[in-house]
């Protein structure tokens, strides 16, 4: 699978995992080091301007901190996000599970990665993709996910149902849902919660 965008991952084991699945440039942030590595950040910005980037971090808290940092460091129209579901477990190479007990990019199956890439809106060379209507903040309101007394509870229930991080802000949730679901799918999911 060849992508137009360069893929940004946290570390070398994520890069090794993706190298067997995609044929595109893969850049490591070296975890939190990207916060202080101005040369690496400059490189990521240049690549984003030239071809766009696909941020593909783990679904744990650290992954979201890195994702949010990059989202603020690169113009929004040059960034796409790829989310893996929260799956409990530990990577084979590690003696014990991480702090949150979740598999990272390196630990999930190839099928999960391919599905996440397809849902991210990344440009897959050689594959045409139909563009679904994006989910908007107005849709969140009409579905009761914002603006009502029970909106926060409904958002939490939906995030839990979808195995997504329950600490996502409303905006981050909107971004993630747009990467994973169409409006029609979201509407059905919310209706089934009630």
pLDDT of 128 reads: 62
The mean predicted confidence, pLDDT, of the chain is: 90
Angle of helix 170-180 versus helix 110-120 axis, rounded to 10: 110
Mean pLDDT of 158-175: 84
pLDDT value of position 93:
85
pLDDT beyond 90 at 96: no
Tell which residue, 3, 47, 50, has the closest CA to residue 23.
Answer: 3
Q: Which residue has the higher pLDDT, 104 or 182?
A: 104
Confidence (pLDDT) at 177: 85
Q: In what order do the strands lie in the sheet with 79-81?
A: 26-28, 6-9, 53-55, 79-81
Please report, for residues 61, 103, 105, 150, 164, the alpha-carbon distance to residue 88 in angstroms, rounded to integers and kept in the order given. 14, 6, 12, 28, 12
- Look at residue 188 and give its three-state secondary structure: helix
**Which secondary structure element, helix H or strand E, spans residue 27, and what is its range?**
strand 26-28
- What are the residues whose beta carbons fall under 8 Å from the beta carbon of 38, sequence distance 6 or more? none
> At residue 107, does pLDDT exceed 60?
yes
CB count within 10 Å of CB 87 equals 15
Angle formed by the axes of helices 183-193 and 151-161, nearest 10° = 110
**pLDDT at 55 exceeding the cut of 70:** yes
Quote the pLDDT of residue 146.
94
Residue 53 CB-density burial (10 A; 0-12 exposed, 13-18 middle, 19+ buried): buried
pLDDT of residue 182: 83
**Residue 51, pLDDT score:** 92
Rounded to whole angstroms, the Cα distance separating 34 from 24 reads 20
pLDDT at 131: 55
- Percent of the chain at pLDDT > 70 equals 97
């Amino acid at each position: 699978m060849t992508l137009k965008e360069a893929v940004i991952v946290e570390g070398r084991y994520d890069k090794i995992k993706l190298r067997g699945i995609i044929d595109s440039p893969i850049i490591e942030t070296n975890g939190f080091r990207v916060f202080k590595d101005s040369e690496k950040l400059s490189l990521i910005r240049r690549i984003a301007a030239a071809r766009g980037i696909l941020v593909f971090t783990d679904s744990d808290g650290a992954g979201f901190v890195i994702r949010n940092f990059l989202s603020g460091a690169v113009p929004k129209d040059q960034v796409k996000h790829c989310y893996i579901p929260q799956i409990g477990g530990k990577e084979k190479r590690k003696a014990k599970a991480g702090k949150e007990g979740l598999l990272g990019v390196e630990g999930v199956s190839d099928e999960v990665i391919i599905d996440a890439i397809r849902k991210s809106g990344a440009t897959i060379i050689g594959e045409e993709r139909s563009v679904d209507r994006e989910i908007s903040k107005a849709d969140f309101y009409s579905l009761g996910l914002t603006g009502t007394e029970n909106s926060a509870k409904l958002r939490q229930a939906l995030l839990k149902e979808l195995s997504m991080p329950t600490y996502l802000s409303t905006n981050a949730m909107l971004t993630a849902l747009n990467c994973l679901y169409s409006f029609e799918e979201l509407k059905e999911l919310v209706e089934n919660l009630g």
